[in-house]
Amino acid sequence: MPIVTVNGKSVHIQELNKGAAETIVLVHGMFSNLSVYYFNIAPLLATKYHVVLYDLKSHGMSEKTLLGYDLESMTNDLLALMEELNLQKVHLGGYSFGGLIALKMVILFPERINKLAVIEAPDPNDDKTRGIIDEYSREFLEHYVENFTDTTKVKMGKRQMERNHRMYEYLFYQTSIKTDMELEKDFFGSPAIETIQKSTLLLYGTDSNCLNAGKHLDGLIENAELIAVPGDHNIPIQQPLVIAEALLNFFQEK
Amino acid sequence: MDTIATTKLSGEEIFDLMKKFITEVIGEEFVEEMDITPESSFTKDLEMDSIEIVSFSEKIKAHFGEQIDFTGWLSSMDLDQLINLNLGMIISYIEECQS
């Protein structure tokens, strides 16, 4: 299992097609891990690009960390990872919370990023987004799994439920993730978003409750293009090939 | 790190190797409660989630090296096929690659 040390912590990474001239880095979402890209999206992008996937802190197989879940810290981790891998300039994609990290990265380190792809990044000020963080409980997880993950067709067994429960418990009650995210609620209202000049692709699900966030970003970012894909917030799992092809076309356009 | 295999393995040997990898990924205490057979599916019977399947894939790649393109093979599957993926299918795929 490939592990690198970033800011003193172990980070699980996966790299595909290392020899390619250009690199795409993909950032996953909260409570998820790099596997959201690993099986379908990354292999297709790797037909043309060097693709780097990594597990965010306390996610997947990366080391658990108590502090630093605000977007600036998450962005500093990404920059440190790029330094560790000797990546000067990359195309960047992020899904959900990872989309917010990608946006912040472009704001703070525009010289290190070529093009930007944002998939289903939520507005941190949206009550439904923050509600998930505020109202977590085991019952919530069971209800969530029962009612919402059915669109991805994957049912969790007992061991998986326990594993996920432990991860949620850790993130919610031991780390600073709740307070750190609370502080980001005005992110879409900050003038910094409007300074983004990069060519930006916004991919959202037609039935997603984040679609309005995509429309909002489309209005704020000058060189943005919004594409709505059939599906909900889980479009990378529901439509991996559609997402992969949209990303590939976007990164290849001159 | 596993050494890259050069000798051709029988179906039974591949099955034993897969069981060893699964045990390393999900832990002996869970494997003891399971009856792992070639019909065992990864998500339903073995309850492996996708990050565990990533670990499992890494072990296969480390063991067989360039002989097989396991990730490439998985990437040709849609979600239904991945959910229904069982050990027997992987054993057949590895056998094919070896022949």
Nearest chain B alpha carbon to A151: B79
Select from B53, B54, B83 the Cβ nearest to the Cβ of A153.
B83
Given CB atoms, is A151 within the 8 Å cutoff of chain B? no
Q: Which amino acid is at A26?
A: L
pLDDT of residue A138: 57
Under an 8 A CB cutoff, do B51 and A61 touch? yes
Residue A37: phi, psi to the nearest 5? -105, -25
**Separation between Cα atoms, residue B28 and residue B26, nearest integer Å:** 7
Domain boundaries defined on chain A = 3-126+185-252
A163 in reach of chain B (CB within 8 A): yes
Q: Which residue has the tokens 């056998």?
A: B95
Nearest to A39 among B30, B58, B75 (CB): B75
Q: Domain locations in chain B?
A: 11-98
- From chain A, pick out residues whose CB is under 8 angstroms from the CB of B47: 156-160
Burial class (CB in 10 A: 0-12, 13-18, 19+), B21: buried
Report H helices in chain B: 11-26, 28-31, 50-64, 70-75, 79-84, 87-98
CA distance A243 to chain B (A): 13
The 10s digit of each residue's pLDDT in A37-64 is 998 899 999 999 999 999 999 999 999 9
Asked if B50 and A14 come within 8 Å (Cβ–Cβ), the reply is no
CB count within 10 Å of CB B70 equals: 20
Class of A3-126+185-252 in CATH:
alpha beta
Q: What's the pLDDT at A162?
A: 81
pLDDT tens digits for range B37-77: 999 998 888 888 888 989 999 999 899 987 888 888 888 88
Domain B11-98 has CATH 1.10.1200: yes
